[in-house]
Structure 1
């Protein structure tokens, strides 16, 4: 190959690359998507777990939603007040301080308190067992099945099966709500971190039927309701419910509960 051929080939490749580069530059400028600088700063402030607890696919999507005004500055349940404060600073707004929340499992039916209908041998998955006859082996169809579906979806190792029921580690819980969405019996709810009284039962059955299933179930006697000085606890649909905005943690309901289902 002559030197002229090499030079011509080099020029062709160089000119072709130059033209492609110019075209890409023009296309990039023409079709570029403007990114809100606030969105980038918000994303940097978020914890980065991408857990989905905020209702979005991940932290990138949440940052976009906050910067556009679609989601409030405290939209990240995992980051809590510290992250909300940083995001509020980026958005140039003030934030009302909110109390930390944690997940709570409404069941006290441990192995020694609940009764079984039969022995179950199969896949340990609450979502699948809800379709098994009787919704699993436990006599109470409202309580914790104990097969740990909530444990497997928790990204923070904050919930474990202890003595047949799920228990939450309040110090590790970030209120991401993944366990709430996973539980087929709707047993898990968010409660204030500072709350001390909780009704550990979810049964809608009448008292006599509850006793046939579990020795630690609410029997809807309403004694807790009668002694509460603030009217924070009410019995509806055969189960006691606490309004945490009214509860002052006096503990009178727990002292009066005959089945000790209020912890």
Structure 2
């Protein structure tokens, strides 16, 4: 009994001693936090998307307050309103905030692509990609399990009934979270005012690409030849658009007129397709419920 009491007394003394030591150390080595950091963090949208390049809103708030080289307009979800507020609080100049949006570089729906095998496993694009690059015949195309949708912090993406992710143009702020998790690099972040976009990611030669997906870009170069401003080039059998030159010089995109597969589309046609897809998604969920 005496031994047990002595043990308790010794443990209590040791605990109290270490408590005083920790309290002293905490006071002695405490780092004073700039109160402006909390003010900046409070006006950020708290999406924790990482689009700014930092690990969350608090990390960006600390960086933009303490580092004079960190721009005040890096918060994509906050857009221009938040950028102006951060610039005012940190006494920094602000460049023009360019709105961005996610774009799916694939039109290979279930009925347009060839499957090489039946995949049975975890319904995750990253996991499926580990098994021979996924079951999609086109190894550059969307795998279709919606990992991008699950990782969108703003609910701006949904899986359509034909197996492709669809972007809600009103909700997407171009944070790039979906782009980062896609194992096929099928998603790209474009300026919101982009005139045209290429709905394909295939690097295969024309005959092979067409055989695997009837909506694939075949690298024929017709779009490049029809572009009067030289905005389009064929790289690795795929049409690539210089969006900045296109937006600056082109008022009437004619490059899409003669595309044999419809792989390159104008902004108007993309918006219409997205709206139709979102309607189809809503109807599909209503039926399944």
Per the alignment, residue 259 of structure 1 pairs with 261
Return the offset for 1:251: 2.3
Per the alignment, residue 41 of structure 2 pairs with 43
RMSD over aligned CA atoms reads 2.0
- C-alpha distance in structure 2 between counterparts of 1:158 and 1:126, whole Å: 18
Per the alignment, residue 124 of structure 2 pairs with 125
- C-alpha distance in structure 2 between counterparts of 1:33 and 1:155, whole Å: 32
Per the alignment, residue 50 of structure 2 pairs with 52
In the TM superposition, structure 1's runs of 4+ consecutive aligned residues that sit over 3 Å from their partners are: 26-32
- C-alpha distance in structure 1 between counterparts of 2:243 and 2:136, whole Å: 30
* TM-score, structure 1 as length reference: 0.86
1:249–1:124: structure 2 CA closer, same or farther, 3 Å change rule?
farther
Alignment map for 1:241-256 (pairs within 5 Å):
241-247=240-246, 248=250, 250-256=252-258
1:164–1:119: structure 2 CA closer, same or farther, 3 Å change rule?
same
Structure holding more helix per residue: 2
Mapped contact 1:159–1:168 kept (Cα < 8 A):
yes
Q: When the two structures are aligned, how many residues end up with a matched partner?
A: 241
Alignment map for 1:179-218 (pairs within 5 Å):
179-218=178-217
Per the alignment, residue 106 of structure 1 pairs with 105
Per the alignment, residue 154 of structure 1 pairs with 152
Per the alignment, residue 10 of structure 1 pairs with none
Return the offset for 1:37: 3.2
What SS does structure 2 have at the residue aligned with 1:246? helix
Mapped contact 1:195–1:249 kept (Cα < 8 A):
no
- C-alpha distance in structure 2 between counterparts of 1:32 and 1:120, whole Å: 55
Return the offset for 1:249: 5.3
Indicate the structure (1 or 2) with the bigger Cα radius of gyration.
1
Mapped contact 2:47–2:154 kept (Cα < 8 A):
no
Return the offset for 1:215: 0.5
* TM-score, structure 2 as length reference: 0.78
Return the offset for 1:121: 2.1
Structure 2, unmatched stretches of 5+, are: 1-18, 266-289
Per the alignment, residue 95 of structure 2 pairs with 96
Mapped contact 1:170–1:193 kept (Cα < 8 A):
no
Alignment map for 1:132-151 (pairs within 5 Å):
132-133=131-132, 135-151=133-149
More displaced, 71-80 or 215-224?
71-80
Per the alignment, residue 63 of structure 1 pairs with 61
- C-alpha distance in structure 1 between counterparts of 2:143 and 2:46, whole Å: 32
More displaced, 249-258 or 143-152?
249-258
Mapped contact 1:197–1:249 kept (Cα < 8 A):
no
- Deviation string 1:173-222 (CA, Å, 9 cap, x unpaired) is 12221111100001111101111311000100110101110000011111
- C-alpha distance in structure 2 between counterparts of 1:146 and 1:132, whole Å: 14
- C-alpha distance in structure 2 between counterparts of 1:215 and 1:250, whole Å: 27
- C-alpha distance in structure 1 between counterparts of 2:127 and 2:210, whole Å: 27
